[in-house]
């Protein structure tokens, strides 16, 4: 595997590759990331991965400085997966001058749910993903459904800018107890790690109630948030949304069997976890 940090060298190295499959990451790789690499391989060749902790998508009080950086380990894992190039730019490579041009998702999608609790997050994500696409020029790119709203924003961005990159969504990789794998799980104490699958259970509780025919979404959401709060969590939201646009379903949508997803974000101690479940 070739490790490249400069954009120019990356372009030279990938010149003429028409079927590149790309996976963007911030490193600290776990099985979830590796499952994205494997899915990428089924959609293209060569597989290119990136590791870049993107300052633009972190708020001033978020965990940019303490975000886990485990580069050597990550390299070994990617080598085992047969990744062809790892693009690992420094901040200077990626942002040699202040990144003043940014990609701003529409308010109705970028400022709801995660965007409401993390202002500017999706502008930071969209900007870096657009720039990574410009560097790698992939034919396909794989993003995990774990970051459901991110996947939708990237997919809509690619469509509206007519990017020549097909966006593939990958199923969430879960531990045996249901916890969705995430780099931030490493922040959990052992007690918190035991408690953490309660978030997935809460999502399942919501999904069961919707499947059982309950129509009042706010009652269902509130009950699930109450359960978490009683267990010591601080839920930001548990929300039933339409899969098509992440807007709340109307009573008519509910009655007509609109395709739904329940999305959640909650803090356990100092760690903020997100997860979702398609219903
Ligand atoms: O999902 C992530 O790890 C990041 O948001 C991404 C897509 C690599 C952009 O920095």
pTM of the model: 0.97
Pocket test for ligand 1, best of 54, 63, 151 (most atoms within 8 A of CB): 54
* pLDDT of 215: 85
Hey, whose CA ends up nearest to atom 8 of ligand 1? Answer: 25
- Residue appearing with tokens 């308010």: 107
Say if residue 72 is exposed, middle or buried (CB neighbours under 10 Å; 0-12, 13-18, 19+).
exposed
Burial class (CB in 10 A: 0-12, 13-18, 19+), 139: middle
251 alpha carbon, distance to own chain's centre: 29
Distance 144 CA to ligand 1 centre (A): 10
Whether the CB-CB separation of 84 and 48 falls below 8 Å is answered with yes
Give how far the C-alpha of residue 196 lies from the chain's centroid of Cα atoms, to the nearest Å: 18
Q: What is the mean pLDDT of residues 89-99?
A: 98
Which atom in ligand 1 lies closest to the alpha carbon of residue 52?
10
CA distances from 148 to 110, 229, 260 (A): 12, 23, 12
Q: How far apart are CA 4 and CA 6, in angstroms?
A: 6
Query: Residue 102: its pLDDT value, please?
Result: 98
Phi then psi for residue 135, to 5 deg, are -75, -45
Between helices 7-14 and 121-136, what is the axis angle to 10°?
50
User: 212: part of which helix (H) or strand (E)?
Assistant: none
User: CA-to-CA distance for 239 and 256, rounded, in angstroms?
Assistant: 19
CA of 158 from ligand 1 middle (Å) equals 15
**Residue 112 DSSP code:** S
* 128-156 pLDDT, tens digit each: 999 999 999 999 999 999 999 999 999 99
Whether the CB of 206 sits within 6 Å of ligand 1 = no
Query: Which atom of ligand 1 lies closest to the CA of 24?
Result: 8
pLDDT-based confidence at 243, cuts 50/70/90?
A: very high
71-80 vs 31-43: helix crossing angle, rounded to 10: 40
Instruction: Give 5-42 pLDDT, tens digit per residue.
Output: 999 999 999 999 999 999 999 999 999 999 999 999 99
Residue 267, pLDDT score: 98
Q: 129: CA distance to ligand 1 center in Å?
A: 8
Q: What is the mean pLDDT of the chain?
A: 97
Residue of the CA atom closest to atom 2 of ligand 1: 25
Q: Helices marked H in the chain — which ranges? A: 7-14, 31-43, 71-80, 91-94, 107-110, 114-117, 121-136, 148-160, 190-195, 198-211, 217-230, 251-255
Distance from C-alpha of 188 to C-alpha of 181, rounded to nearest angstrom: 12
* 33 is a catalytic site residue: yes
Task: Please answer whether residues 89 and 7 qualify as being in contact, where contact means their C-beta atoms are separated by less than 8 angstroms.
Answer: yes
Q: How many CB atoms lie within 10 A of CB 91?
A: 11
Give the per-residue pLDDT at 190: 97
Question: Which listed residue (10, 20, 33, 53) is catalytic?
Answer: 33
Q: Ligand 1 centre from 201 Cα, in Å?
A: 25
- Nearest atom (ligand 1) to Cα of 125: 9
pLDDT in tens, 177-228: 999 999 999 999 999 999 999 999 999 999 999 999 998 999 999 999 999 9
Indicate whether 63 pLDDT > 90.
yes
Which two structure tokens, joined as six digits, stand for 110? Answer: 């970028």
Q: Sign of the CA dihedral 9, 13, 19, 25?
A: negative
Handedness of CA 93, 99, 105, 109 (dihedral sign): positive
For the residues 93-108, what does the mean pLDDT come to?
A: 98
Q: How far apart are CA 134 and CA 123, in angstroms?
A: 16
């Amino acid at each position: 595997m070739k490790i490249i940090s400069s954009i120019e060298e990356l372009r030279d190295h990938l010149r003429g590759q028409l079927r590149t499959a790309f996976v963007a990451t911030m490193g600290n790789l776990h099985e979830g990331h590796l499952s994205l690499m494997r899915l990428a391989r089924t959609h293209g060749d060569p597989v290119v991965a990136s590791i870049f902790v993107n300052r633009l998508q972190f708020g001033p009080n978020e965990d940019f400085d303490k975000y886990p950086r485990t580069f050597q380990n990550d390299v070994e894992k990617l080598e085992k997966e047969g990744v062809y190039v790892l693009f690992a730019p420094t901040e200077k490579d990626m942002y040699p001058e202040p990144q003043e041009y940014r990609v701003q998702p529409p308010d109705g999608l970028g400022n709801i749910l995660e965007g409401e609790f993390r202002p500017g997050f999706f502008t930071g994500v969209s900007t870096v993903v657009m720039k990574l696409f410009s560097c790698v020029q992939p034919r396909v790119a794989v993003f995990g459904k774990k970051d459901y709203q991110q996947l939708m924003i990237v997919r809509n961005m690619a469509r509206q800018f007519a990017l020549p990159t097909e966006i593939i969504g990958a199923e969430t990789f879960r531990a045996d107890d249901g916890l969705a794998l995430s780099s931030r799980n490493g922040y959990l104490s052992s007690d918190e790690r035991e408690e953490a699958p309660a978030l997935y259970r809460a999502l399942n509780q919501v999904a069961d109630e919707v499947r059982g025919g309950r129509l009042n979404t706010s009652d269902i959401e509130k009950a699930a948030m109450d359960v978490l709060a009683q267990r010591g969590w601080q839920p930001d939201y548990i929300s039933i949304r339409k899969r098509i646009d992440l807007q709340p379903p109307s009573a008519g949508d509910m009655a007509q069997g609109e395709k739904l997803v329940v999305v959640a974000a909650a803090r356990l101690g100092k760690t903020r976890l997100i997860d979702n479940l398609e219903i």
